[in-house]
Amino acid sequence: MQKPLENLFGKKKNKNDKFEVQEITDEKVIDQLEQNYNTITNVKVDINKAPKIQDITRVLPRPEVKNLIFTHRTISLPLDVINLKQVRVADVNPAHVAQIERYMQKNGVDPKELPPAVVKFQGKWYLINGHHTYEAVKNIGFKEFNFDIYEYTGIEQWHIFVHTLRSLGRRINLTARPPELQQRPIDIANGYIKELVENEKRTGIAHLLTDKKGNPIPFFCTNNMKYDPNNLDHIDIVLERDGFTDRYDPQWGSCGKKSVYTNMRKWISNWGSVGTVSDITPFSGDLKARLEKSKFFKLKTSDGLQGHIVDLYHTTGAAQKIFCYIVGAMEDGQKARILVHNAELDDPDRHERDEKKVLEDVYKMWRGAMIGQNMLIKNNEEERHQHFVHTYSREEFFQLFEWYVVAQLQDKHKGDYFKREKFLFDE
């Protein structure tokens, strides 16, 4: 027997009160719900009508922000009445859309997943989140689908409405569960930067916050409205409001979460000088496929035409492998061609720092080997037979192999790869 909702989320004081529910932040909430619903099954996909809304779907906790309140209604709406207002900076990812399509066609609709959310503004429905799901069900052939209904209670101004819509979209995404495509911190930062640029063009004032009357509060301003470029309270308020600290709270003690939060503050605060945060292309998908098919890079094979052997390395922790690879190629009378990439997707500065470190470490190994060789010669050869090995400078050493980098920083790099012509940060 199902337990009443008040046993799950607290009692209502009266019929007009809303349940106070917590956001979904981990599996414990879902586990609690499943214990109270004996039968939880995926809904078979039938494109002729929207999937049946199960009881567990109706009681899943919903995030809220100021002026966008969940109505406790999940209803079916025609897809063609929904207007799209993308919260993300990046376009909808076709690969993820296809993933959702395959999942639904194979498994049906999971009632434990939050439906896409919509809100009505000036007589029109707008999509808050779930853009990938929307595209997937449209591609499958649905004419209508299930949506969570939110109510907008803020000022009837378009830019204020859009600002609030984006805020809730971020919060829902930051507390999302599969198959939602969670935004990377860098994507979230780009969203704020885009909003700052848009607001400055529209009002002449860069801002992310407004007062009760909808007037912009200038970026970097303190409580007494004095400009202070070192004041980051503005950013902290927004990140707390939009749920970023739910996932990356710097007070949790995790150095990883703290560094992500620090980077987020840095990216947003530097919005005026950089325009947008450097976006990072992951070494996967089409980029990796193109490089693997390249005649120039026949990964892990010999390139007889060029007289090079080629291999691929991650820039973190690969120094010893790269060193052995260079020496091995020289022993075979070949010149090593090395292609490096980076798995870092949030901090663009890490790419060159990691590359510099691995190059420096490889050089130290080479220099150490040469010094060791000279010591052996000195200790074991008669003085007249001693011929010491040249240790080489960094630049000289760099000429012994070819060093290529996967082009992952979109604002700096063109094409799929580029060649380092000199030792990085050579001193």
**pLDDT confidence tier of residue 380, bands split at 50, 70 and 90:** confident
Q: What is the pLDDT of residues 308-345, one digit of tens each?
A: 444 566 666 688 888 888 888 888 888 888 888 887 77
The pLDDT assigned to 307 comes to 40
Distance CA 247, CA 185 (A): 10
Q: How far apart are CA 112 and CA 69, in angstroms?
A: 21
Write down the mean pLDDT value for the chain: 76
CATH topology of domain 1-183: 3.90.1530
pLDDT at 422 > cutoff 70: yes
Q: Give the residue range(s) of CATH 3.90.1530.10 domains in the chain.
A: 1-183
What's the pLDDT score for residue 255? 53
- The more confidently predicted of residues 270 and 427 is 270
123-170: pLDDT as tens digits? 999 998 888 889 889 889 899 999 999 999 998 888 889 888 888 888
- CA-angle at 73, arms to 98 and 155, nearest 5°: 95
Query: Could you give the CA distance from residue 16 to residue 19 in angstroms, rounded to a whole number?
Result: 10
- Each residue's pLDDT tens digit, 62-98: 888 888 999 988 889 999 999 886 544 445 667 678 7
pLDDT given at position 77: 92
CA atoms lying within 13 Å on the CB side of residue 110: 18
Task: Tell me: pLDDT of 353 over 50.
Answer: yes
Structure token pair of residue 57? 């779907």
Whether the CB-CB separation of 197 and 272 falls below 8 Å is answered with: no
Q: What is the Cα–Cα distance from 289 to 249, expressed in whole angstroms?
A: 37
Nearest to 263 by CA among 242, 221, 237, 232: 232
Confidence of residue 24 (pLDDT cuts 50, 70, 90): very low
- The pair phi, psi for residue 338, each rounded to 5°, is -115, 135
CA distances from 105 to 98, 101, 139 (A): 11, 6, 11
208-252 tens-digit pLDDT: 888 888 888 888 765 556 667 677 888 888 888 887 887 777 765
* C-alpha span between 289 and 105 (Å, rounded): 28
Locus of tokens 């990085």: 424
Whole-number Å distance between alpha carbons of 363 and 366: 5
- The sign of the dihedral angle between the CA atoms of 293, 299, 305, 308 is positive
Q: pLDDT tens-digit profile of 221-230?
A: 655 566 676 7
Q: Give the tens place of pLDDT for each residue, 31-72.
A: 666 565 555 667 777 787 888 887 777 777 788 888 899 998
Percent of the chain at pLDDT > 90 equals 7
How buried is 321 (Cβ within 10 angstroms: 0-12 exposed, 13-18 middle, 19+ buried)?
middle
Whether the per-residue pLDDT at 379 is higher than 50: the answer is yes
**3: pLDDT strictly greater than 50:** no
